[in-house]
Amino acid sequence: MVYLAQHYAEAAVAHDPDRTAIRCPEAGMISYGKLEARANQIAHALIDAGVTRQDRVMICHRRTADFVAAILAVLKADAIYVPLPESSPPGRSRRILEDCRPRALICDAIGKSRLGPVLDELRVPPVEVMLGTATLAGVPDHRPPSVNIDADLAYILYTSGSSGSPKGVMVTHANLTDYVAWAVGYFGLRASDRVLNAAPFYFDMSTFDVYSAQAAGASLSIAPAEELLFPARLVQRIERDGITVWKAVSSLLTYIVTIGALARDPLRSLQRLAFAGETFPTKHLAEWMRTLPDCTFYNAYGPTEATGIAACHRVERVPGMDELLPIGTACANAEILVVREDGSPAGVGERGELWIRGACVSAGYWNDPAGTDGAFVARRGSLAAYDRMYRTGDIGYADADGVLHLVGRRDDQVKYHGYRIDLGEIVSAVQSLPDVRDAAVLLLSHPRTRTAELVAFVDAASGHQVPSLRTSLQRMLPACMIPSRCIARSPLPRTDRGKLDRLALERAYHEAVTP
């Protein structure tokens, strides 16, 4: 049988419909049988409303069990789900809606109130499905007929784009099921496991949580959004729910250490902890490992365009303070090449760009053939039309044992608080503000605290209040992309070739933050 993304939950129902599928504060414990019935109802509502194969369905809803049911429902209706944050600024929501043109919208009251004005303005008439009991009363809960295949798209995730507009990464059922099959085997997931979901469903980290748990018949614990603002409470949830598996953002693990929450709660249940999204400072990883000696730790690597995890390294011992962890070796059914600028293979220890090939490689960017052609290239000499490689923009090298090490970025994409951000999108937003003549944004390390900061350098008209920029940007960008500091500089320093002088900007930053 060829598995599609919605089949994992269906198989879990066939095995044991009463097994707990989801734990969340709002709904309590939801069995696989109830999750399946709810997803079937939503799928029927979508089909009755005219949703057909490969239509886009936008989901704008709080992180609850209903969100997971909505995801499964869209797949059961042969459609593509497009998750959107409820907190997404109107400007960003507008650009995404214009790009993907959804046929339907699944939302709660908050999502409807946020997106309603944008939908009216754009005259986009998606069918609305409100997730309330009254809305689905009388809707059948049997499984609807489905005709999608593994080459069909399962979802589109919008990430930051250098043009100033978000990019929609297209992921097929084949991409997703290949990833899930590897993850379940590699991490040894079992039906007795309890997987923590702390990642938003519009973030690619969440695909591991949702689908790996279902494939193993395990239980998924959804941490409410407010617990991410107070990580000490998140730690308490891990202890209370008996979490055994967690794929976490490195910055969140760092914060848990720095506030002392790890020392207060023993987390006896946690058995496997994978960290990803950005570099995890080894001094904080060492504290996690010393506190949880029976837990296995993994350094995971993979861009959204490679579906989930493309390479992984099991951390065998507590690292030294200044030790740099490798990202390991490629996952099963994937290959990561280190490539020179001329496209030839780099030698052992030689730095180059990481290119990924295999079943994990995304179908490209929605509605952006030029962007797709620039980032995805055909493998030389291959006779297979689908054998493409994704150019990650990450710089790394392979050692004599074939283990991969990551050293930096080729372009201006950065990882900040676990999110991949293209600085060009922030620059575009800043430059669009009145009285702003020029702008630059850098991710810099504070000279005293060594914490990363997004810093905007702004050349603005006389009398413009730089501190007010952050307030203006809150209406245009998600919170993770708002610069924490804005520095006035007129004009911005540039080299004799007209390029931005980054070193001069870094010096200006150090002068601004150093007493």
Tens-level pLDDT at each residue, the chain (515 residues): 568 999 999 999 999 999 999 999 888 999 999 999 999 999 999 999 999 999 999 999 999 999 999 999 999 999 999 999 887 888 888 899 999 999 999 998 888 888 878 887 877 677 888 887 667 888 999 999 999 999 999 999 998 765 567 899 999 999 999 999 999 999 999 999 999 999 999 999 999 999 999 999 999 999 998 888 788 899 999 999 999 999 998 878 888 887 888 877 678 899 999 999 877 888 889 999 999 999 999 999 999 999 999 999 999 999 987 678 999 999 999 999 999 989 999 999 999 999 999 999 999 999 999 999 999 998 776 656 568 999 999 989 999 999 999 987 777 778 888 887 878 778 878 877 877 878 889 999 888 888 889 999 998 876 556 667 888 888 889 888 999 898 988 888 875 445 678 889 999 999 988 87
Other CB atoms within 10 A of residue 43 CB:
28
Q: What share of the chain is helix, strand, coil (3-state, %, to 5)?
A: 35, 25, 40
User: How does 54-84 read in b/e, with b if 16+ C-beta sit within 10 Å?
Assistant: ebbbbbbbbbbbbbbbbbbbbbbbbbbbbbb
pLDDT of residue 299: 98
Residue in the block written with tokens 């944004």: 441
- The sign of the CA dihedral 348, 350, 355, 356 is positive
- What letter does residue 232 receive in the DSSP assignment? H
pLDDT of residue 497: 47
CB of 172 within 8 A of CB of 150?
A: yes
Residue 198's identity, in one-letter code, is A
User: What is the residue-wise DSSP string for 100-148?
Assistant: H--SEEEE-HHHHHHHHHHHHHHT--PEEEE-SHHHHTT---SPPP---
Size of the chain, expressed as the number of residues it contains: 515
Using CA atoms, how far residue 116 sits from 107, 120, 125, 472, 476, in Å, is 11, 6, 10, 21, 17
User: What is the residue-wise DSSP string for 420-432?
Assistant: EEEHHHHHHHHHT
Residue 60's identity, in one-letter code, is C
Q: How far apart, in Å, do the first and last CA atoms of the chain sit? A: 65
State whether residue 403 is helix, strand or coil: coil
* φ and ψ of 96, to 5 deg: -70, -45
Q: To the nearest 10°, the Cα dihedral for 499, 481, 55, 217?
A: 130
State whether residue 220 is helix, strand or coil: strand
Residue in the block written with tokens 């980054």: 502
| 442 Cβ neighbours under 8 A, 6+ residues apart | 423, 454, 455, 457, 502, 505, 506, 509
pLDDT of residue 40: 97
CB of 504 within 8 A of CB of 471?
A: no
Least Cα distance to 197 among 223, 176, 167, 175 occurs for 223
pLDDT of residue 380: 73
What does the H/E/C string look like for 243-293? Answer: CCEEEEEHHHHHHHHHCCHHHHCCCCCCCEEEEECCCCCHHHHHHHHHHCC
pLDDT of residue 353: 95
Other CB atoms within 10 A of residue 214 CB:
28
What are the tokens at 37? 């019935």
State whether residue 311 is helix, strand or coil: strand
Which residue ranges form the domains of the chain, and what is each CATH number? 20-148 (3.40.50.980), 329-409 (2.30.38.10), 413-513 (3.30.300.30)
pLDDT of residue 164: 61
Tell me, yes or no, if the pTM score tops 0.75.
yes
